[in-house]
Amino acid sequence: MLVNLRALLARLIDIVLLRGGPENLPASPGLLVFVIAMNIVTGLAVVALTAGITEFPAMQLFVMTLVPLLWYQIAFSMAMKRERFVQTMIAYFGVNMLFTPLLTPLAYALLPYLNPPDPNNPAPAALSLLSLLIVVWVFVVWLRVVRSAFEWPYFGAILFVFAEYLVTFYIFLALFGGSPAKV
């Protein structure tokens, strides 16, 4: 079991470092359930660590898990590539689980400068730049995963990822009255 987890972690790190894609992951529904559960546990840990600073109910975490599952299921059905769903979702939630510990401390450190923004007290430039670099890195990883999974050109992958973000934003707006906090 531990050997399998190490192998999964190595493949997820390869995806993050742009050396692999979702096609390198096993197509195991059981592994998908495990990765989703670990992603939720990671999200709940972040919620627990930032309690009192951010308001992030568990229902939002549930929606952030359900929306991508439905979004990709519909997209793969329309593209007639249903067999790629499990591997892509393992990549999606696995990579999210790896980036969450990187983004959470940065978001936590930037929160006092952003809530509400004060032009007289700007966020530190180094912290803002590091956050921007990691967010761009995450975006590039998602583009590569989508491009590899759907075999689309980069322009199609960019449109797909932006559409996913917009759909998630509007679902959060409709359900919770605000945009999602990245966990």
- pTM of the full predicted structure? 0.86
The tokens describing 70, both together, are: 């439905």
The pLDDT of residue 3 is: 80
Instruction: Report in angstroms the alpha-carbon separations of 136 from 67, 72, 99, 115.
Output: 22, 21, 12, 22
Name the one residue in this structure whose structure tokens are 């997820």: 12
| Nearest CA among 60, 138, 63 for reference residue 101 | 138
Question: How does pLDDT run along the chain (183 residues), one tens digit per residue?
Answer: 678 889 999 999 999 999 999 999 999 999 999 999 998 888 888 777 766 555 566 778 888 899 999 999 999 999 999 999 999 999 999 999 999 888 888 877 887 787 777 778 888 889 889 999 999 999 999 999 999 999 999 999 999 999 999 998 899 888 877 655 544
d(CA 67, CA 69): 5
* DSSP-assigned beta bridge partners for residue 114: 117
